[in-house]
Structures are given as C-alpha cells and as structure tokens.
Structure 1
C-alpha cells in the first residue's frame, strides 16, 4: 500500500552536497568515515511521520505515493532543503563581544560561535571586527538524498519509541499503551535538558493526534541510589561501653 501523509515510516538515508560531501546519514560506519559521527546519535534508521516536517520539505514530500521497500535518489533545491541564504542573518560584531568564546585561540573563518542563543560561523575577519553568518550551514545549497523506506510502522509501541528516539536520541524507551493512555517513562537526565520542555510538547501533540489516544503522560524515573558507606562512617563501640549499654537497657526494662 502506498505511503500517505500521516503514516509512520522507518527510513535509512544519506544526505550529500557538492556531489559527494556527506553531511548526514543513518549509517553509523559512514558517519565515522566522513567525520560526522555523533556518539549520542541514533543510527540504523529513523522513524518519521510523513508530512510532519521531521525531515526537510523536499524529502518529506517525496515519501508520499512510494511503497515500503522503495530505494531511490532525490535532488532537493535550496528552497525545499535548508532555505536560501539570507543576507539579513549575517552580522558584523566586535571581537571584544566574542572574546570569551575564543579563549586561547585567535578567531578564524569557519569558527563556530554563539551570540544571544544563536549559533553561527565566522565568515570574515576585518581588523577587530568579525562577520558572523547565522544562516544554516547548508543554506543556499542544493542537496542530494539517497534513501530507502524500510517499512511502514503499524505497531503503536514502535511508533512511540521511534518518535521519542527521533526527538531525543533515546532508544528503546519504556512505554505503556492502553486504549485511552500513552505512558512514556523518561530518565531523570532529560529534566536537565532545556530543549526537553519544547520537545515533550511536540511528541505529545504528534502522538495524541496520530494514534487517536486521548491522553499522554510523561513519567520521570528516579532510580534508587543506595547510600555509600565508607570505613570512616562506621563507628566502633568498645566492648566495655557496649556491655554497659546492654546492662543499662536490661535494668531499665526490669524497673
């Protein structure tokens, strides 16, 4: 059956630009070979919802009408990839404003920086000023995707786990699903992630809408950590004192 908007599918893909420069892939070995391996990334395939914007627009649109098992190559123009390069997103800043990020290094073209929560790259250095480009690194570029639709995901548990992995990088997360509730157990570490507040809303909205289950709970898991007792924590009671204590307790008992 042909893939439709709203379907959950599992895909394998490799994204390239300038013919053979790999910038993204679900193949762990290929990521390592091209110097883009992320130890926190999820490899082996992504589960996405067709038409939800979880991939670039051109690729997302290309899924529709394909059959599970499809393999092909797609060339995507900038406007349906990472957008046209926007000159308004290039700013000239004083080196002094960024000095804390340079540490022991001198600024150089291509150096990544962050300004007011925005990530950019130094494109040019002019005396004591730098031009910082806040466009996506692939803005204005035509990209190519080699991709395979491995399967259409039908099992609700796999849909939940796949979507959580896509957003968080957490694989095989604990889930519980009934007719009226989706319960997702999350590790305590996620509570320290500032992006999690937005991410959890996206996950909840997508799953409630697509699975038709009216309620979703995120349960924060706090594992038991036994107290550690070192030798310095153990207080030895001398035999005499111990005897006296026992005698006193017996006398009080008799009274």
Structure 2
C-alpha cells in the first residue's frame, strides 16, 4: 500500500551537499567515519509522520506514493530544503559587542556565536569587526538525500515511542495506550532536556491528533534511591589481661 500523508513511517537516510559531503545520517558508523557522530543521538532510523514537517519539505513530499521497502535518492533545491540564503540575517558588529562570549579567544570564521537572541556563526573577521551569519548552515545549498522506507508503523505504542524518540533523542520511553488514554512515563533526566522542554506540548498535540485519543498524561518516574547508612566505626579491642601484664612489666 502506498504511503499517504499522516502515515507513521520509519526511515533510514543520509543527507549530502557539495557533491558528496555528508551532513546528516541515521547510520552510526557512517556518522563516525565522517566526523558528525553525536553521542547523544539515536541511530538506526527515525520515525516521522508524513506531511507533518518532521523533515525538510522536499523530502517529506517525496515519501508520498512510495511503498514500504523503497530505496532511492532525491536532489532538493534550496527552496524545498533549508531555504534560500537571506542577506537580512547577516550582520556586521564590533568585536566589543560579543566580547563576553569570546572570553580569551580571538574571533574566527566558523565560530558559533549568539547575537540578539539568535544563534549564528562568524563568517568573516574584518579588523575589529565581525560578520555574523544567522542563516541555517545549509541555507542556499542544494542537498541530496538517499533514503529507505523501512516500515509503516501501525501499533499505537510504537507510534508514540517513535515520535518521542524523534523529539527527545531518547530511545523507547515507556508508553501505555488504551482506547481513551495515552500515558507517557517520562524519565527524570528529561527534566533537563532542552528539546523536551521546548517540544513537550507539540508532542502531546500531535499524538492526540494522530492517534485519535482525546486524553494524554505525562507521568514523571523517579527511581527509589535508598538512603546511605553510615557504618559505625569499629570498636578498638581492649588488650588481653596477659598483654596488659607484659606492658606493666616493661
């Protein structure tokens, strides 16, 4: 059966630009070989909802009409990938404006920086001034994706776990699904996960909408940690009577 908008699918992919330079992949070894490995990333495939913007527009639209097991590649123009390069997102500022972020370092092209609440990179250093580009790193570039549609996911628990993994980077968060409730057991470490804090409500809305279940609850699970019991210091043994006698005689 052909893939349609709204389907949950698992895909494996590799993204390239500049005639073969790899910038993203679900293949762990390939990521390591190309210096883009993220130790906090989840490899082995991503679960996405077709047509929901979980990947770039050109790739998202290419899924529609394909069959499970399809493998192929697509070249995507900037307008359907990471957008055209916008000159309005490039600013030239004095080094003193970013001095606090620089610390003891000298500014250099490619250095990540934050300007006016936006993240960017220094694209050029001109004396005591720097040019900061806040466009996406691949803005204005044509990209190529090689991808395989591994499966169409029907199980509701697997759908929820796949979407949670996509947003949080954590595999197989515990989920229970009944006819009227989605219950997600969130590990304590998610409270420190910035991706989770930003996307929590988006995840809830998507799951309620796509699974057709009206209620969802997040349950924080805190593992029991027993209190440490201090051990009493070992008692010093009194010397035996004959030992005492020896000491006195000396």
| Same topology, TM > 0.5 | yes
Q: Distance in 1 between matches of 2:215 and 2:69?
A: 33
Partner of 1:55: 55
Partner of 1:74: 74
Between 1:159-168 and 1:182-191, the stretch displaced more is 182-191
String of CA shifts for 1:108-139, please: whole Å, max 9, x gaps: 11111122432101011112111100000000
Q: Distance in 2 between matches of 1:117 and 1:38?
A: 25
- Alignment TM-score, normalising by the size of structure 1: 0.89
Q: Distance in 2 between matches of 1:97 and 1:225?
A: 47
Q: Distance in 2 between matches of 1:28 and 1:42?
A: 8
Question: 3-state SS of the aligned residue for 1:96?
Answer: helix
Question: 3-state SS of the aligned residue for 1:48?
Answer: strand
- Write out the 4+ residue segments of structure 1 that deviate beyond 6 Å after TM superposition: none
Partner of 2:239: none
**Correspondence 1:116-155 to 2 at 5 A:** 116-155=116-155
Match status 1:108 vs 2:121? no
Structure 1 residue 40, shift from structure 2 partner: 0.5
Q: Structure 1 stretches of 5 or more lacking a match?
A: 238-255
- Alignment TM-score, normalising by the size of structure 2: 0.90
String of CA shifts for 1:21-44, please: whole Å, max 9, x gaps: 000000000000110000010100
Partner of 2:248: none
Between 1:163-172 and 1:90-99, the stretch displaced more is 90-99
When the two chains are superposed, the root-mean-square deviation of aligned CA atoms in Å is 1.6
Q: Structure 2 stretches of 5 or more lacking a match?
A: 236-250
Paired residues, number: 236
Question: 3-state SS of the aligned residue for 2:36?
Answer: coil
Partner of 1:248: none
Question: 3-state SS of the aligned residue for 2:47?
Answer: strand
Q: Distance in 1 between matches of 2:125 and 2:234?
A: 68
Structure 1 residue 191, shift from structure 2 partner: 1.7
Partner of 1:213: 213
Structure 1 residue 97, shift from structure 2 partner: 1.9
